[in-house]
Amino acid sequence: MNSNFLRTKIIATLGPASWDIETIEKMLLAGTNVFRLNFAHTSYEKADEVVKIVREVSLKNNKPCALLADLQGPKLRIGEIKDGVILENDADVYITNEEILGDANRFTLKYENFTDFREGDQVLIDDGKIVLSIEKVLSAKEMKAKVIRGGPLLSRKGFNVPNANLSIFPITEKDKEDLKFIASHDFDWVALSFIKSAQDILKFRHFLESLESDLSIIAKIEKPEALRQLNEIIIAADGVMIARGDLGVEMPIYQLPVWQKRIITRARQLAKPVIVATQLLRSMIDDIIPSRAEVTDIANAVLDGADALLLTDETGIGKHPVLVVETMAKVIGEVEKNPEFTKFLTKNFKMASPLKLNCNRIQYVTASIATEVVLRYPISAIIGLTYTGSSIIQMSSYRSPVPIYAFTSQEKVIRKLCLIWGVAPFNYDNQNSTDESIEDTLNYLKENNFLRVGDWVIHTASMPIKASKHINTVKISIVE
């Protein structure tokens, strides 16, 4: 296996600190597999420019990468605040949804109907730095609250209301306009914010269909309601993201580590990719070395079996975006090359048990056979011929101790698979016969030092190959 190959993928957010061509190229070569654009902070003009740069440097370096668009969603924010406002503990404050210049006595929460709130609901501002308790809902436009935890009140900070049943649909009018742009610029994945149910995903997919878009949907798990419908959401989406920022505010933060492990396990069992996001290397926004806690956090996410780790402000606005990616890659590499990691994979190989719903049964059986053989025989790699990538994602969910090399004629599939754990995707467009394709892929991997003479490998493919159907064939070969 190529020594630079990481099973756990790296997603880097592009922003003012990193969206020039030189930095993007360095980040790609440092180990980035997916570039993320946050449409809460990115203009169409800048996004158009950045997409072209990413595609250009990917082609130049013969290193495929995917593009992930992250929608803003219905982010709840406070209004404009005067300079120097500080909320004092136990003080009374009045809240309105009308636009005013706020102060310590009265300010704006941008939410349409305050009758959705209840007495005793807590309003957490700026990721919980400030906590208010609703004492009385005076009207649809005004509430009275008590300051439980005070502090500096700053303009346009986000707010959360844990466990409140607020009337919010996760696709805003801004999101719909953004999606038209995203679909027309050939992004590979799109992340949907603040979903509560599988129905949100289905409505979102219906809107994508109206745009004739085949974008793959990442459901961001950041609301307690989503945890209550976790299975249904994972099944309805194409992947999930553990958005620890808002999720850690919406629920008791000490419950977050266990929920992270639960979500990763369930996503694997349902054969969907899973991303861990938020504050993985937050200290490196300014510093040149990470904290011990951050390194341990990354290592644990790798050991849990996450498909990808997402860097946000660290690469978007931080001082050292390239160094951050290099650091992430080093930590992942150290974990994955340790013999204990291989033992861990083998021990947990069966974790992806037969919970895979709504999948092609022949594909499921074939993928299961291929991955079972890896445990029983000295196999060096799985080589998959694929048209849609679904069989590769299925096999990846088992977290095979050996790499999966995916060959496809579809450029879109190559990019999509850049997000998937343990997969290295390659372009291949010979449709003459399955046997000829198997021989070609073996020769390519041997010539490029992915395999050596004498290695045993497993091939998965469809037969006949021109049918481009789900995989139905498993073959064991020896590299000559």
3-class SS string, the chain: CCCCCCCCEEEEECCCCCCCHHHHHHHHHHCCCEEEEECCCCCHHHHHHHHHHHHHHHHHCCCCCEEEEECCCCCCEECCECCCCEECCCCEEEEECCCCCECCCEEEECCCCHHHCCCCCEEEECCCCEEEEEEEECCCCEEEEEEEECEECCCCCEEECCCCCCCCCCCCHHHHHHHHHHHHCCCCEEEECCCCCHHHHHHHHHHHHHCCCCCEEEEEECCHHHHHCHHHHHHHCCEEEEEHHHHHHHCCHHHHHHHHHHHHHHHHHCCCCEEEECCCCHHHHCCCCCCHHHHHHHHHHHHHCCCEEEECHHHHCCCCHHHHHHHHHHHHHHHHHCHHHHHHHHHCHHHCCCCCCCCCHHHHHHHHHHHHHHHHCCEEEEEEECCCCHHHHHHHCCCCCCCEEEEECCHHHHHHHHHCCCEEEEECCCCCCHHHHHHHHHHHHHHCCCCCCCCEEEEEECCCHHHCCCCCEEEEEECC
In the chain, how many domains are there?
3
Query: Are 396 and 467 contained in the same domain?
Result: yes
Average pLDDT over every residue of 439-464: 91
Query: Are 61 and 194 contained in the same domain?
Result: yes
**pLDDT score of 360:** 60
**pLDDT score of 343:** 75
Query: Are 277 and 298 contained in the same domain?
Result: yes
**pLDDT score of 127:** 82
**Interval 29-82: pLDDT, tens:** 999 999 999 998 899 999 999 999 999 999 999 999 999 999 988 878 899 999
Q: Does any domain span residue 79? A: no
Question: How large a percentage of the chain has pLDDT more than 90?
Answer: 69
Average pLDDT over every residue of 340-364: 64
Q: Is the pLDDT of residue 359 over 70?
A: no
**pLDDT score of 448:** 93
Give the CA distances from residue 408 to residues 10, 368, 369, 427, 443, in Å, rounded to whole numbers and listed in that order.
22, 21, 21, 5, 16
Give the CA distances from residue 240 to residues 167, 236, 293, 308, 324, in Å, rounded to whole numbers and listed in that order.
23, 10, 24, 11, 23
Q: Is the pLDDT of residue 146 over 90?
A: yes
Average pLDDT over every residue of 119-125: 93
Instruction: Please give the structure tokens belonging to residue 230.
Output: 């976790």
> Which residues are paired to 474 by β-bridges?
460
Q: Does any domain span residue 345? A: no
Q: Is the pLDDT of residue 1 over 60?
A: no
**pLDDT score of 248:** 87
- Model confidence at 160, pLDDT cuts 50, 70, 90, reads confident
Q: Is the pLDDT of residue 236 over 70?
A: yes
**pLDDT score of 357:** 52
Query: Are 216 and 270 contained in the same domain?
Result: yes
Which member of 75, 77, 149, 330 is catalytic? 77
Average pLDDT over every residue of 298-314: 95
User: Residue 195's domain is classified under what CATH number?
Assistant: 3.20.20.60
User: Residue 441's domain is classified under what CATH number?
Assistant: 3.40.1380.20
**Contact (CB, 8 A) for 101 and 455:** no
Q: Which residue has the tokens 């096999």?
A: 395
pLDDT: is 369 or 119 the higher one? 119
Q: Does any domain span residue 347? A: no
Please state, rounded to an integer, the average pLDDT across all residues of the chain.
90
Tell which of 131, 160, 189 closes a domain: 160
Question: Does 399 participate in catalysis according to the annotation?
Answer: no
Which pTM value belongs to this model? 0.91
Q: Is the pLDDT of residue 8 over 60?
A: yes
Dmax (CA) of the chain: 79
- Model confidence at 3, pLDDT cuts 50, 70, 90, reads low
**pLDDT score of 469:** 61
Question: Does 36 participate in catalysis according to the annotation?
Answer: yes
Instruction: Please give the structure tokens belonging to residue 248.
Output: 């850690």
**pLDDT score of 243:** 93
pLDDT: is 361 or 433 the higher one? 433
**pLDDT score of 21:** 97
Query: Are 207 and 276 contained in the same domain?
Result: yes
Q: Is the pLDDT of residue 358 over 80?
A: no
Please give the residue range of the domain that contains residue 457.
Answer: 359-478
**Interval 179-214: pLDDT, tens:** 999 999 989 999 998 888 999 999 999 999 999 998
Query: Are 121 and 205 contained in the same domain?
Result: no
Q: Does any domain span residue 349? A: no
Question: Does 220 participate in catalysis according to the annotation?
Answer: yes
Query: Are 13 and 34 contained in the same domain?
Result: yes
Query: Are 281 and 139 contained in the same domain?
Result: no
Instruction: Please give the structure tokens belonging to residue 457.
Output: 């490998």
d(CA 251, CA 122): 12
- Model confidence at 341, pLDDT cuts 50, 70, 90, reads confident
Query: Are 67 and 99 contained in the same domain?
Result: no
User: Residue 112's domain is classified under what CATH number?
Assistant: 2.40.33.10
Query: Are 231 and 294 contained in the same domain?
Result: yes
**pLDDT score of 370:** 84
Q: Does any domain span residue 343? A: no
Q: Is the pLDDT of residue 338 over 70?
A: yes
pLDDT: is 387 or 144 the higher one? 144
d(CA 96, CA 79): 10
Q: Does any domain span residue 4? A: no
Query: Are 242 and 284 contained in the same domain?
Result: yes
Query: Are 18 and 108 contained in the same domain?
Result: no
Q: Are strands 379-385 and 456-461 parallel, antiparallel or unpaired?
A: parallel
Q: Is the pLDDT of residue 4 over 90?
A: no
Q: Are strands 456-461 and 473-478 parallel, antiparallel or unpaired?
A: antiparallel
Question: Does 278 participate in catalysis according to the annotation?
Answer: yes
Which member of 32, 96, 108, 278 is catalytic? 278
**pLDDT score of 371:** 80
**pLDDT score of 40:** 86
Q: Is the pLDDT of residue 95 over 60?
A: yes
Q: Does any domain span residue 458? A: yes
Which member of 7, 9, 26, 220 is catalytic? 220
Which member of 9, 36, 282, 356 is catalytic? 36
Q: Does any domain span residue 353? A: no
**pLDDT score of 351:** 54
Q: Is the pLDDT of residue 449 over 80?
A: yes
